[in-house]
A and B are shown apart, each in its own frame.
Chain A
Amino acid sequence: MTSAALRSRAWKMLEMVTTPLLPSDYLDLVSPLRAGADLRGRIEAVHPETRDAATIVIRPGRGWRGHTAGQYVRVGVDVDGVRLWRAYSLTSPTHRQDGRVSITVKAIPGGKVSNHLVRRAKPGTLIQLDQATGDFVLPAAKPAKVLYLTAGSGITPVMGMLRDTEFDDVVMVHSAPQPQDVIFRDDLHRLVADKKLRLTELHTDTDGMLDISRLDELVPDWAERETWACGPAGLLDAAEEHWTAHGVRERLHTERFRPSIVAVGDGGEVTFSTTGKTADADGATPLLDVGEEAGVLMPSGCRMGICFGCVTPLKAGAVRDLRTGEITEAEPGVLIQTCVSAAAGPCDIER
């Protein structure tokens, strides 16, 4: 018998010992970050960066496969007891000696997770992790000249790049409202002092937004540079137009942080993505009825919100709890009770 077969047999044996739980349920008690466990991380430190941004240092579990500079990671954080998932750029270099990684988070007004991480997260807390992902990364072959064009928290993936790989000729144009809003300002100026970076810092409160046509004057050879741009949609749109107009679009790499924009309203079109059916729903009819009406096989029980026999994944959009009026927006892993939820705008139900 191969050792893998032997191991799987031993595991089966263990499962018989622990049934109906799994051996991992017990192992998680003592070693939540072990190899083979669901991927998690432990917050080890929280460093404030600006008044509304902080770097969270995380020790990932043994299953972490590492990342490439510029990538992001989805983290699942329990906020007020509810697990919420968000994506943040990794700002640590790829080969930190201590195996830790960091994300840098800017608290956005009303943002549940970002405010929690920046202001309330405590070292020692376990969070859930996904593997790093994203293709806003550096190429394998080093470009001779590099331009980083960033604004606001768009600096975060680029900081991961700056810390990871040194280039001979790097220019950065970064915009932020005021000097004290510049995340990593000290780090950037240290790189400048060490002659590893040429930096143009723009303060939009006083200088106004960057006019892309000013690039000629700020970075005269911008068109020859391999460029990575990250920031608000306005900046990226302008950049894409500019690079295209000059016929050098292939040199521009952009990363958009898309805050999922959910239209919250009263009723809307409901898509049942498994069966491919759609139906128009008003804001008062339970989705269970909407589905049945449309000929979708909907699981149900009490039809009054007490048995949880109708829970179904909400893939997109938003729904309103007919009892409390509470709005639930789609996020991975969000399940809703269709018998007491109505469409609050267009939504997608996995049935």
Chain B
Amino acid sequence: MEKMFKITAPEGLHARPAALLVSAATPFKADITLHFKEKTANLKSIIGVMAQGVAPGSTIVISTQGSDEAEALQAISDVIATKGIGEEC
């Protein structure tokens, strides 16, 4: 499963937003991947997410794969929407 988001957090996917996403992703069994440009990162890895350097205004895709993939994608979408990180597109 996957969804596309536009990042609106003024600092991009740094620090606080990255930490929020990783904290939301970690409890799930599913593999959760962040796709940005041609690169991918494990969304459970704070280092991996920050290393992508996702700037504000960028579009990213989050994909989930595994037994709880639907719940995982929902939880991450909720965090993105409610914590001012971005919006679905």
Q: Do A and B come from one complex?
A: no
